[in-house]
């Protein structure tokens, strides 16, 4: 899948928010508490964390490597460089 966002994009996120599978989310990993990342929510795991993946599966550091992430918010809009609403990915609404 082609990346929805790229490094340097400016986004607007709803915080706090309840994510659903397929949402683009702002996350933090316990092993990297100073780093915020934007990924796609796949499913919630035991303990309240989320399994998240990057849209570019071949060049993404995500839950496959770092484990479950804490979701801080749901990204709703890209403000720059191409303003627009971000939508849930089709076909990812399964558990």
Pick the CATH number of 10-85 from 1.10.10.10, 1.10.167.10, 3.40.50.11900, 2.10.109.10: 2.10.109.10
User: How do residues 35-87 score in pLDDT, each as one tens digit?
Assistant: 999 999 999 999 989 999 999 889 999 999 999 999 999 999 999 998 999 88
Domain boundaries of the chain, sorted by first residue: 10-85
Do 1 and 55 form a contact (C-beta atoms < 8 A)?
yes
pLDDT band at 27 (very low <50, low <70, confident <90, very high): very high
* List of residues 6+ apart from 73 with CB closer than 8 A: 13, 14, 15, 16, 17, 25, 26
Rounded CA-CA distance 42/52 in Å is 5
Rounded CA-CA distance 67/29 in Å is 8
* List of residues 6+ apart from 14 with CB closer than 8 A: 73, 74, 76
- Say what the pTM is: 0.87
pLDDT band at 94 (very low <50, low <70, confident <90, very high): very low
């Amino acid at each position: 899948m082609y990346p929805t966002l790229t490094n340097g994009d400016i986004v607007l996120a709803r915080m706090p928010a309840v994510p659903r599978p397929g949402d683009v989310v702002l996350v933090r990993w316990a092993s990297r508490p100073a780093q915020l990342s934007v990924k796609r929510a796949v499913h919630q795991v035991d303990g309240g964390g989320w399994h998240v993946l990057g849209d570019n599966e071949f060049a993404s550091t995500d839950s496959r490597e770092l484990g479950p992430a804490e979701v801080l918010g749901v990204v709703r809009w890209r403000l720059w460089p191409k303003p627009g609403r971000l939508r849930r990915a089709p076909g990812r609404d399964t558990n």
